[in-house]
Structure formats: structure tokens, C-alpha cells
């Protein structure tokens, strides 16, 4: 439960809030635009490595983050509650609305344009390039760009984490998606059925983690740690006859 008071142009958070173990005491200022079309089909894929955002558990409630927020991919999978700042642009905001979006993409800077006129994602600006359906939940289409208030929140997911096996022999590139709780992955370990110890994986890019072992013919287990320190272990995710290109859905979730 939270209570906040809008007074002039200032937002005061009166009560500290916690959602799914992700604490956020303040609302921060940024701006938001939109992309991807009315059905969000143009948001598929992206710099986090997710493929079909519908089947990967994210739907249309997604956003691409500017450099300062994207943090070289470490923010992939994180969730943010966004409110249009009606104190600044009452004509464009849909009052009384908010939306929780997941970071699934990177909004690249455009240094050919000034930060306040087209270069919305240039450092050091915090900016959310939201899917069009998500943007239109809080603001009118004609606005194009609106000032917003945002804060980190927990991610609510349906079903368990998903592991997609890509790469080749001696190079397992594993995409981890549909992650709940804090959403942002900080560490991953892998263990084959013929291994005695867990082995740390390294982030390749976005939500893709890599191992350089030969793991063919072994059933695979994974241990995932979030940025907030919470850890879950998913045993025997992939059977011994797994193949590159396959995805496996677990019953393990944060």
C-alpha cells in the first residue's frame, strides 16, 4: 500500500513501498516515447536477446531503455511502474492510469540530434521508448513524447523460467526469459549431469549467458541469481538428448 501527494510539480512519496521484494522509496523523473506499431509487432527481438515477446512471457508491456538505464544489458528483464506526469502535460496524460513494463530492448543514442529535441535516448537522459500499446495506456497517441514518473518494481510472471539453448558444440548460449521477482539476472551457473560441481556462466549479451564446455549428451541444470541476491535452482531443465534451438520451460520461479 502506498500514498503519494501531487503538489504543484513535485511528487512526494509518503509511505515506503515494497513490491515482490524490490524496494523503491522514490519516484524518479524521465520521459517516454513509443515504437513498434499498434500491435507491438515491431518490438520483437531486440538488444536483450528475447525472441517472440508474446511467447517469452512479456507481451506488449515492454520498453527499450536509454543508455543510462540499460546498463550494458544488466537491466534486461527488470520491471518499472510508469505514470504520465499530468502536472506537466495534463492535456496529454490519461489521469489515474499507470503501467508496469519490462525492459526488453535498448534505445540507442542519436548524437546527431540534441538531447531535448530528438536525441531522447542520449546520455545522460533516463528515457523509456515504450511499446505503442503500453504508451497509450498512460498517454494519448498524439503526444509523441511525455514526461513520466517511474520506479523499480517486482515482476509478476505466469509460469516458470524459460531456458533456450543456442550456440554450438563447446559454446552453449542460453537465453533465460520469463524471470519474475526482481527480473534482472546478475549471475548464472550451469551443471551437466556428468559434472560434479556447478560452473559459473558469463553474460554474453543481454539475457544470454554462455558456457564453453562440451555438454552434449548431459542433462542440464541451472542456478540463477538476481541483482537483489535471491537465487533459484532449476534441476534437470534440459534432458540428455537436448538440441540447440530448443526451449525448456521450468516450474521454478522467483
| Whether pLDDT at 195 is above 70 | yes
Q: Residue 11: inside a domain, yes or no?
A: no
What is the rounded average pLDDT of the residues 189-211?
98
- Total number of domains in the chain: 2
Query: What pTM value is reported for the model?
Result: 0.90
Per-residue model confidence (pLDDT) at position 48:
98
Per-residue model confidence (pLDDT) at position 68:
97
Q: Residue 94: inside a domain, yes or no?
A: yes
Domain limits for position 87: 28-152
What is the rounded average pLDDT of the residues 37-60?
94
Phi, psi dihedrals of residue 101, rounded to the nearest 5° = -115, 155
Per-residue model confidence (pLDDT) at position 55:
84
Per-residue model confidence (pLDDT) at position 21:
45
What are the tens digits of pLDDT across the range 67-92? 999 999 999 999 999 999 999 999 99
Residues 204 and 109 in one domain: no
Residues 104 and 199 in one domain: no
What are the tens digits of pLDDT across the range 115-150? 999 999 999 999 999 999 999 999 999 999 999 999
HSE-up of residue 222 (Cα within 13 Å, Cβ side):
30
Residues 121 and 169 in one domain: no
Domain boundary residue among 92, 126, 152? 152
What are the tens digits of pLDDT across the range 17-36? 344 445 455 899 999 999 99
Residues 137 and 75 in one domain: yes
Residues 80 and 140 in one domain: yes
User: Would you place residue 57 in the very low, low, confident or very high pLDDT band (cuts 50, 70, 90)?
Assistant: confident
Amino acid at each position: 500500500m502506498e500514498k503519494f501527494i501531487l503538489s504543484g510539480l513535485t511528487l512526494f512519496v509518503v509511505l515506503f513501498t515494497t513490491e515482490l521484494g524490490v524496494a523503491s522509496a522514490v519516484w524518479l523523473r524521465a520521459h517516454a516515447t513509443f515504437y513498434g506499431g499498434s500491435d507491438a509487432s515491431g518490438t520483437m527481438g531486440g538488444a536483450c536477446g528475447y525472441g517472440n515477446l508474446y511467447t517469452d512471457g512479456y507481451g506488449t508491456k515492454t520498453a527499450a531503455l536509454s543508455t543510462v538505464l540499460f546498463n550494458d544489458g544488466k537491466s534486461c528483464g527488470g520491471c518499472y511502474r510508469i505514470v504520465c506526469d499530468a502536472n506537466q502535460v495534463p492535456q496529454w496524460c490519461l489521469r489515474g492510469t499507470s503501467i508496469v513494463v519490462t525492459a526488453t530492448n535498448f534505445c540507442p543514442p542519436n548524437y546527431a540530434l540534441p538531447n531535448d529535441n530528438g536525441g531522447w535516448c542520449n546520455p545522460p537522459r533516463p528515457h523509456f521508448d515504450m511499446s505503442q500499446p503500453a504508451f497509450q495506456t498512460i498517454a494519448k497517441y498524439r503526444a509523441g513524447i511525455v514526461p513520466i514518473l517511474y520506479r523499480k518494481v517486482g515482476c509478476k510472471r505466469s509460469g516458470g523460467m524459460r531456458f533456450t539453448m543456442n550456440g554450438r558444440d563447446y559454446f552453449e548460449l542460453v537465453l533465460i526469459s520469463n524471470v519474475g521477482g526482481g527480473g534482472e539476472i546478475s549471475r548464472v551457473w550451469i551443471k551437466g549431469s556428468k559434472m560434479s560441481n556447478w560452473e559459473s556462466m558469463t553474460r554474453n549479451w543481454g539475457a544470454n549467458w554462455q558456457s564453453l564446455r562440451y555438454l552434449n549428451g548431459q542433462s542440464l541444470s541451472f542456478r540463477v541469481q538476481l541483482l537483489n541476491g535471491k537465487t533459484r535452482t532449476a534441476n534437470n531443465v534440459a534432458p540428455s538428448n537436448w538440441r540447440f534451438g530448443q526451449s525448456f520451460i521450468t516450474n521454478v520461479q522467483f
